[in-house]
Amino acid sequence: MAQIFDRSSNALARMSLVLTGLIVIALGVTLDQLQRSPWVTRQGQRPDQPVPFSHKHHVQGLGLQCQYCHVTVEKSSYAGIPPTKTCMNCHAQIWTNAQLLEPVRTSWATGQSLTWTKVHDLPDYVYFSHEIHVNKGLGCSTCHGRVDQMPLMYAQNTLQMEWCLDCHRNPAKNLRPTTEVYNMAWEKPAEDRPVWCSVGDEKSGVPTAQTVNCVTREPAEGVQVASLAPTAAPLSSYRKFTSQDELGHFLLDHYKIRTPKDLASCEVCHR
Ligand code: HEC
Ligand code: HEC
Ligand code: HEC
Ligand code: HEC
Ligand code: HEC
């Protein structure tokens, strides 16, 4: 039988197969990138808000604590967004004529809450709680970045599953003393930036954070080093840490944090 195709078409067929393959791969990569892109995750975006509220001004400028406005962050899954009343504590007296604050005054006068657009918003099928993270030594800045330097709020991290798991598989690299949770400028310990910790009475029933006392200045004899300490610890019981690795593993132990295997199991976040 006569040959229908000549040799060159054979090569052509092979080439188009390779090409199709390449296109499929490229498409896959693009979709994957898209799924992870800030456009989908909204990472880094500053949504329109009723009032251009500046964390930089209110936190760094005025020195307000996070808990002043996010009152439930330590004791509930939800950190909380402050009611208009909180703003009026000051803005009934300060900047009373500013155009920017008109929506706040209207809200106060009418009793209608301001509607802030959520910057961080996990899907409903994911369980998250601030309470446990904050009480086990994870700082606001670890997840939210330098909020004190943000004129307008944006999401520093993707909040995607991979991001959560990256920490759940190795929490030690992010743990800090619970007393430093609100410290926006916290940096991991180093040779020239040591941390000293002592462990109090662990039998007292309080399981974790409260029994560990950490300070960032060398504890001196006879000085009550931290008001949080249940009993002033003897100097000899302080251990010095000069690396995140040592401190992280020490805290992992004393804050009684579950194993990476437990923490990465599906039921933790999908209940
Ligand atoms: C004076 C009140 C006030 C203080 C103090 C304050 N916040 Fe806020 N925060 C707000 C308001 C109002 C919003 C909602 C508007 C916005 O997103 O900017 C908000 C939003 C946020 C959000 C984003 C919420 C979302 O929509 O996902 C985070 C994260 C946050 N604050 C963290 C912090 C941290 C961390 C601190 C302390 C360093 C802090 N805030 C201090 C009032 C405050
Ligand atoms: C502890 C007092 C205090 C509280 C509480 C407070 N503010 Fe302010 N706010 C100020 C002061 C002071 C300024 C002027 C800051 C400046 O310009 O240095 C200001 C400025 C502003 C401005 C002008 C833009 C800027 O950031 O300079 C806006 C908008 C604003 N506040 C919104 C709010 C909202 C919304 C709330 C409630 C979530 C709030 N503030 C709570 C004290 C406060
Ligand atoms: C382990 C990471 C992590 C830490 C630590 C953390 N947050 Fe969040 N935060 C999140 C996530 C995730 C969301 C989104 C929750 C959702 O959509 O259900 C969020 C949402 C918020 C919100 C919006 C309201 C809410 O609760 O959904 C505020 C305000 C906030 N965080 C403030 C803080 C403050 C203040 C601290 C420090 C005391 C802090 N966060 C520590 C991960 C964290
Ligand atoms: C920077 C580290 C870190 C990040 C990021 C983080 N977690 Fe966690 N998470 C922890 C640690 C540490 C614990 C405490 C574990 C323990 O005590 O055994 C925890 C505990 C939890 C728990 C257990 C709550 C309970 O009561 O049993 C849930 C649920 C959880 N995380 C969900 C999430 C979700 C969802 C995300 C991402 C949106 C997230 N976490 C991101 C470190 C992190
Ligand atoms: C530490 C918390 C955490 C754990 C553990 C976890 N997930 Fe998730 N998962 C998330 C978050 C957060 C999202 C939402 C991601 C987003 O919004 O893009 C998610 C999304 C998903 C989705 C939706 C599709 C997707 O990828 O966006 C599936 C399916 C899923 N998880 C399955 C699992 C399975 C199966 C396990 C156990 C092997 C697991 N997850 C363990 C936090 C977690």
Distance (Å, whole) CA 235 – CA 179: 19
Tell me the pLDDT tens digit for each residue of 135-182.
999 999 999 999 999 999 999 998 999 999 999 999 999 999 999 999
- pLDDT of residue 87 exceeding 60, the answer is yes
Least confident of 5-14, 111-120, 183-192: 5-14
Least confident of 23-27, 146-150, 167-171, 252-256: 23-27
Cα dihedral across residues 172, 176, 181, 182: positive or negative:
negative
Distance (Å, whole) CA 39 – CA 49: 18
Ligand 2 contact via 80 beta carbon (within 6 Å)? no
Ligand 2: residue whose CA is nearest its atom 31: 53
* Nearest residue to 91 (alpha-carbon basis) of 152, 83, 112: 83
**According to the model, what pLDDT value does residue 232 have?**
53
Pocket test for ligand 2, best of 48, 86, 94 (most atoms within 8 A of CB): 94
State the ligand closest to the CA atom of 80: 3
Mean pLDDT, residues 43-57 taken together: 88
Q: Which two tokens stand for residue 217?
A: 């200045």
